[in-house]
Amino acid sequence: MYNRKAFTLLEVLISIALMGIVIVALFSTVDMLQDSNQHLLKYLEKSKKLNKATKTLYLDIASSDGNITIKKDEFTRLCMESTENSLYSLPRAKVCWIVLKKDNTLIRVEGNDYHLPVKMEEMVEVDTIIKGLETFDVYFSKKKDKLLVLMQEAGKEPISFMVQGVMKPKPKPKKKANINQRRENNTTRSPTT
């Protein structure tokens, strides 16, 4: 009788060949998973950036004093003269959202009492929000109590939202007559008896 205590050389070679085939398949599967995860991560980062931009724009408008201007010339501009939503810890800030011609880039400019175009001596912070923007339109309702924002990045679905409760700025109070004018008015009146 023959007692066998080890594998033959042929059995070892066959098992090594089968393991080689299985390992190649596993490596290609792992590589595909890594590529898929990288694409998903890039998509999520872009989506997160767009959501952050939308939220910031919404808060800029909702926290403003209602003094909002929209200009559509060579650049599309949306400016809030005073808003409490500051990314740079300002108590109140002037914020403008501008679409630049180069690459249709949407930027956000924040500072105090600056004028567009910004000069070197004016202290502002400029953040690039989105490159390759196809649409950035802002519309007031007839009563100017609602603001509709439309945004669309190239090749993406459009985003729209409405901010309600945007109010017109309160009219400035008329200057009161100075004290001398009041005295004159009082002395010219004849007392009633």
Average pLDDT, consecutive stretches of 10 residues, N- to C-terminus, the chain (193 residues)? 77 92 92 92 84 89 88 84 91 92 88 85 88 86 85 85 73 54 52 47
What SS3 class is residue 115?
A: coil
Contact 66, 81 (CB under 8 A): no
> Which is nearest to 168 in space by CA: 144, 133, 137?
144
> Which is nearest to 156 in space by CA: 138, 131, 185?
131
pTM beyond 0.75: the answer is no
Question: What is the rounded distance in angstroms from the CA atom of residue 64 to the CA atom of residue 44?
Answer: 30
For residue 140, what pLDDT is reported?
Answer: 84
For residue 193, what pLDDT is reported?
Answer: 42
For residue 169, what pLDDT is reported?
Answer: 47
Contact 77, 106 (CB under 8 A): no
Contact 80, 95 (CB under 8 A): yes
Question: What is the rounded distance in angstroms from the CA atom of residue 133 to the CA atom of residue 104?
Answer: 5
For residue 35, what pLDDT is reported?
Answer: 92
Structural domain boundaries of the chain? Answer: 45-132
